[in-house]
Structure 1
Amino acid sequence: MKIVSILGVKIHPLTMRETIEIVDRDFIQKSKPLHLMGVNADKINQCVDDSGMLEIVNNCDVVNADGASVVLAGRYLGIDIPERVAGIDLMQELLKISEDKNYPVYFFGAKEAVLQKMLENLKLDYPNLQVVGQRNGYFSDEEIDDISNDIRTKGPKLVFVGITSPKKEYVIEKFLSDGVNSVFMGVGGSFDVLSGTIPRAPKWMQKAHLEWLFRVANEPRRLFKRYFVGNVTFIKRVIKFKKEKHA
């Protein structure tokens, strides 16, 4: 796969269709473990500030541009990234494949009530989906080995991890180091959206690259700093990088 880089962070310039094909053919069907990564401005900022996060991202076999800001930054820097591969959309596409091909899945994350409501909704949308395990996202350090063993024992092809970053990335790496041969995908707040707890932006806002603004409007206390302060920081870093590159 072709690899590009923004601020030292690896990205595979893949479309949604290409991503699904690669994940299914090269990892799920071969029972090969994978940390399926999506990066947005916030994640790239984390990588710049945290060498451990940078190492995790750059060691992932599939890294999507999960943010309009990343696609736009690529254009500004002369880097071709074909499209945004939104995490929640990719998750739903992988759920469709899992239902069609009878791939067992596991859900790990969110509050218990949110998790259960999401599972109820998924039964309606994917009635033949084989869910082999579930666990809310609240746990102590002492429980992490038991969770890892539970996932390994139940043998899901895909594990969707709906806990906050950067915790989820380090937890996924822990599971992989324990030898769990699943495809792990960190999905952030997707459990909240799929449960109906938090609405998703209308299609026109998604197409206009304004989904982030809709999210901030719905969760201002939690997301204002991440998107407004974080995006400004990201833009400044990208502009500085371009200036230094052409100096």
Structure 2
Amino acid sequence: MTALLGPAPRRQLFGLRVDALTADDVIGLADQAVQSRRRLLIGVVNAAKVVHLRSDRLLRESLLECDVLLADGQSVVWASRLLGQPLPQRVAGIDLFEQLLALADRDRRSVYLLGATPSVLRGVEEAVARRWPGARVVGSRDGYFGAAASAEVAAGIAASGADMLFIAMPSPHKEIFLGTHGPSLGVPVLHGVGGSFDVLSGLTKRAPERWQRWGMEWLYRVLQEPGRLWRRYLTTNTAFVLLLIRERISRTRPYDPPTTAKEGTAHE
């Protein structure tokens, strides 16, 4: 496990500052954050987010607010090398999710699970109990609640005393929830895990490792749900390639961070 001594190197990509970290580096930072009770908000960026952050202010600000921003997409890693800002590796959100659960298992740390449907959430709880029995699930809540209930959900998370919070809520609900209640949660490690709950519960299958290495995980998903996903990925991937060409010609000016300053983070 890696312990970082000082700031991690960062790369300028598509107007974002992306951290040049390995998965082991991030686990080391998470370990430090839990021990010191200082916030480590982990964010990930993929091709779709690169495309949408230009027009989606909420998404853009949520990425800029993160203490650590990682490349969750082989296409972003390849782009970083073409742009002369190389990242060491892809750090997939689901892989990091499982490694953080392994850390919690090793040290008997507490976790809170937030998001997905009640049935998927039960499947995740069962998977955690089976695969990482030392990780203590101190609370869980499905993601189907309205704005009126969000304060109550946040209060429950804060009262749980969790060391790690895993959020499987779609945008913009995740960003709105964290933007409104993040400072009051008191959880050191916060990680938005996207569709990882679906995979861990067994609802959906992840692409084989070879497909992941080739950066074809998106195609595997399309083959599972062609009617729903083919147009989305065709549009997004085409837009990403065009943005990469544009970035080679003229770099996007770095986006300004949100006006709210971050204090007491574990990544300084």
- The ranges of structure 1 where at least 4 consecutive aligned residues each deviate by more than 6 angstroms after the TM superposition are none
In the alignment, what sits opposite 1:2? 9
Q: Secondary structure at the match of 1:73?
A: helix
Structure 2: how far apart are the matches of 1:191 and 1:138? 14
Q: Using the alignment, how far apart are the partners of 2:139 and 2:231 within structure 1?
A: 34
> Do the aligned residues in 2 keep the contact of 1:9 with 1:47 (CA within 8 Å)?
no
1:92 aligns with 2:98: yes
Residue 225 of structure 2: aligned partner:
219
CA contact (8 A) 1:105 1:159 kept: yes
Over the residues paired in the alignment, what is the CA RMSD in angstroms? 1.5
Alignment of 1:114-129 (within 5 A): 114-129=120-135
Range moving further from structure 2, 84-93 or 178-187: 178-187
Cα deviation 1:36-79 (Å, max 9, x = unaligned): 10111111222211233222212211111111111011111111
| Deviation readout 1:140-195 (Å, 9 max, x if unpaired) | 11010001000000010100001112322332232313353331110010000000
The question of 1:150 aligning with 2:156 is answered yes
Moved more, 212-221 or 233-242: 212-221
Q: Does 1:131 align with 2:125?
A: no
CA distance in 1, matches of 2:115, 2:169: 5
Which of 171, 187, 192 does residue 186 from structure 1 map onto? 192
Is the Cα–Cα contact under 8 Å of residues 35 and 172 in structure 1 kept in the other structure?
Answer: no
Aligned counterpart in structure 1 of residue 29 of structure 2, from 3, 22, 28: 22
1:200 is the counterpart of 2:206: yes
Q: Name which of 11, 27, 31 aligns with 2:18.
A: 11
Q: Report the identity percentage.
A: 36
Separation in 2, partners of 1:75, 1:194: 31
2:106 counterpart letter in structure 1: D
Aligned to 2:146: 140
| Matched letter for residue 3 of structure 1 | R
2:258 is matched with none
1:236 alignment partner in structure 2: 242
Q: TM-score, normalised by structure 1?
A: 0.93
Unaligned runs of at least 5 residues, structure 1: none
Aligned equivalents of 1:96, 1:77: Cα separation in 2: 34
Contact 1:10 1:57 in 2 (8 A): no
Map Cα deviations across residues 85-110 of structure 1 (whole Å, 9 max, x no partner): 00000000000000111110000011
Matched positions, count:
244
Shift of 1:221: 4.3
- Residue 162 of structure 1: which of 141, 160, 168 is its match? 168
Kindly provide the amino acid, as one letter, of the partner of residue 159 in structure 2: T
Aligned equivalents of 1:208, 1:225: Cα separation in 2: 21
| Residue pair 1:161, 1:186 contacting (<8 A) in 2 also | yes
Secondary structure at the counterpart of residue 178 of structure 1: helix
The residue aligned with 1:104 is 110
Q: C-alpha separation between the residues in 1 aligned to 2:66 and 2:236?
A: 23
Matches of 1:237 and 1:51 in 2, distance apart?
18
Q: Which residue of 2 aligns with 1:47?
A: 53
Amino acid in structure 2 at the alignment position of 1:188: G
- Runs of at least 5 residues in structure 2 that lack an aligned partner in the other structure: 1-7, 252-268
The structure richer in helix per residue is 1
Identify the match of residue 173 of structure 1 among 176, 179, 192.
179
Contact 1:205 1:211 in 2 (8 A): yes
